[in-house]
Structure 1
Amino acid sequence: MAAVPTKLLVLSDTHGGRFPPDYRPPTSADVVLHCGDLTEESKIAEFLTTLDMLKAFGAPLTLVIAGNHDFTLDLPAFHRKVAEAGLASEPELVAREYGRDGEARKMFEDVRISHNIHLLDEGTHHFPLANGASLTVYASPYTTSPEADWGFQYLPTDGHDFSIAENTDIVLTHSPPEGILDRTAAKQRLGIPGLFQSVAKIRPQLHCFGHVHASWGAKLAAWRNATKTAGAETMSHFTAIDHGQSTVLDTLQSFQRGKFDDDATFTTKVQRLADFEKQGCRPIHGECDGRLKLDSGSRTYTLFVNASTKDDEEEQLHLPWLLDLDLPRSSPNMKES
């Protein structure tokens, strides 16, 4: 059965902000994917801003997960934060800014009906697409933190089970996997080892995420042949990926002046960024810029994308990514699940 070319617009960590007034998003995406941190403080007004932005993209299907900043979608975390702020006895005050229990989630139930925007809980989801393709996506909003004091967080000592099903096309998480586009500005790795191991076992076409703003970028990773049979406890980004056959497609450093860049090199970088800004995205073609065509039958490469649009240092937002993937064709009786 022939595969179906499908365009995906991927972004993350918009934190309730807006793109600049002159920003023109690509309008050709079949699916928009938002990898979490829809808000900065999980306020109702921020959710409204984000939903207005997602509606403006006009995609036939939009898939969204929460991030750690979206704690009102995680009621136990929301209640903890209200108690820590000493506001448990002020429900009306809390409701004015954050809504009542379940109010933020209800907003997503409404836009699912009106605009086909889906807030995905953790797990595997199946969608027939308007272009005739089928999409199987694994979603998880969970990140790890020593304090686990935000939404959808757990202690590193507790661990978390990322149960990714076989034949998953796309993994959509808020956290990066350990070792892949997960370094902070201070060069600390924040990715999750268990998430990497689960992804390495399944080898999806695409794993997109955010959370670590400084590691915006994309990497086409080649899997070593032994990955499928290796024990999970021995699997890491050092052992499972053939870095000699892998390609970093872009990082923030691709557009910043390097220590050894001359004026001509830096001018080229500036022009390249300007060209992408005119398109409203950083595009990655199905051939991954000439190296490899990713399709549903290939499990030897995975495209990893950190789509964080927030900049830790400045107000400007990084570009979202526009990806071309080949997905399996949907069967006539396939239903959303």
Structure 2
Amino acid sequence: MKILHLSDTHNCHKQLKDLPEADIIIHAGDFSFTGTEKETLNFIEWFYALPYKYKIFIAGNHDDYLFGANIEGLPDNCYYLCNSGVTIGNMHFYGVPLFIDDVISGEYDRQLNNIPNDTDVLITHQPPFGILDFSENINYGDFILLQNVLRIKPKYHLFGHIHNAYGMEKNDETLFVNSSILDNNYEIKNNPVILNL
């Protein structure tokens, strides 16, 4: 199974041409910039039309329109994961969004602590602390997320959020991937990442 992973396109998704073939495309949030309904619908229409067998996306901190939203009417092969999961083949995918209101209320920490133990592919917007999260002399990752990733040991942890921390890093159990497409100037700099499961 082949995955195409991308994140942090911030309304530039239609500028992405000749995307490589894969079985599953995964967007790890921040598809919009100001989080409006118009931006969200523009992304969703583009995403639905892509020629991939399965499509998964989560919300990032810029995607406020989806906060508390109950998305209905998705095609059978398209999944919006909001503290929820889906099994494709024998792989368990689980997605945790990043909404600032949840961070402020403490709900985000509870969501991270509830990630299922059988998760094979974890999709978050924020990185775990100390892994592909460093920018301007600050680690922007989340320590509770790191603790849970080390507990669960997913095969893959896919995220974005920190634009200039694009790349891959591996420990004994997990391949960590930051697939932020834009740089800190919000210009397309990086390519989506292909992963072979």
Asked if these proteins are the same fold (TM beyond 0.5), I'd say yes
State the distance in 1 between where 2:119 and 2:186 align: 36
Aligned-residue identity in percent: 32
CA distance in 1, matches of 2:24, 2:59: 17
AA in 2 matched with 1:58: P
CA contact (8 A) 1:17 1:50 kept: no
How many pairs are equivalent? 195
- How far 1:314 sits from its partner (Å)? 5.3
Q: Aligned-pair RMSD on alpha carbons?
A: 2.2
SS at match of 1:194: helix
- Does residue 130 of structure 2 align to residue 179 of structure 1? yes
2:192 & 2:93 partners in 1: Cα distance?
A: 19
Who is 1:306 aligned against?
178
TM-score, normalised relative to structure 2: 0.88
Give a deviation string over 1:182-217, Cα, whole Å, max 9, x none.
012x12111000100100011111000111111111
Matched ranges for 1:196-215 at <5 A: 196-215=146-165
Q: Does 1:15 align with 2:10?
A: yes
Equivalent position of 2:34 in the other structure:
41
CA distance in structure 1 between the aligned counterparts of 2:9 and 2:52, rounded to whole angstroms:
18
- Does the CA-based 8 Å contact 2:102-2:108 persist in structure 1? no
Which residue pairs with 2:77 in the alignment? 116
* Partner SS, residue 38 of structure 2: helix
Q: Using the alignment, how far apart are the partners of 1:127 and 1:157 within structure 2?
A: 28
Q: Distance in 1 between matches of 2:37 and 2:65?
A: 9
What do residues 53-76 of structure 1 show as CA deviations (whole Å, max 9, x unaligned)? 32343111111111111111114x
1:141 matches 2:97:
yes
Matches within 5 A, 1:211-230: 211-222=161-172
Deviates more, 1:38-47 or 1:159-168: 159-168
Q: Indicate the structure (1 or 2) with the bigger Cα radius of gyration.
A: 1
- Using the size of structure 1 for normalisation, the TM-score is 0.53
Q: 2:87 aligns with which of 119, 127, 132?
A: 127
Find the aligned partners of 2:102 and 2:3 in 1 and give their Cα distance: 27
Q: Which residue of 1 aligns with 2:60?
A: 67
What are the within-5 Å matches in structure 2 for residues 1-337 of structure 1? 6-20=1-15, 23-27=17-21, 29-75=22-68, 106=71, 109-110=72-73, 112-113=74-75, 116-123=77-84, 125-128=85-88, 133-142=89-98, 150=100, 152-155=101-104, 160-161=109-110, 162=112, 163-184=114-135, 186-222=136-172, 301-313=173-185, 315-325=187-197
Deviations 1:266-312 (A, max 9, x none): xxxxxxxxxxxxxxxxxxxxxxxxxxxxxxxxxxx210001111211
Q: How far off is 1:17 after superposition?
A: 1.6
Q: Quick one: structure 1 residues 206 and 73, their matched pair in 2 at CA, closer, same or farther if it must change by over 3 Å?
A: same
1:126–1:140: structure 2 CA closer, same or farther, 3 Å change rule? same
Amino acid at match of 2:86: H
Which amino acid in the other structure matches residue 200 of structure 1?
L
Q: Any stretches of 5+ residues in structure 1 without a counterpart?
A: 1-5, 76-101, 144-149, 223-300, 326-337
Larger strand proportion of the pair: 2
User: Given residue 160 of structure 1, which amino acid in structure 2 is its aligned partner?
Assistant: D
Contact 2:40 2:65 in 1 (8 A): no
- SS of the residue 1:305 aligns to: strand
Structure-2 separation of matches of 1:193 and 1:31? 29
Q: Which runs of 5+ in 2 are unaligned?
A: none
Residues in 2 aligned to 1:33 and 1:158: alpha-carbon distance in whole angstroms: 24
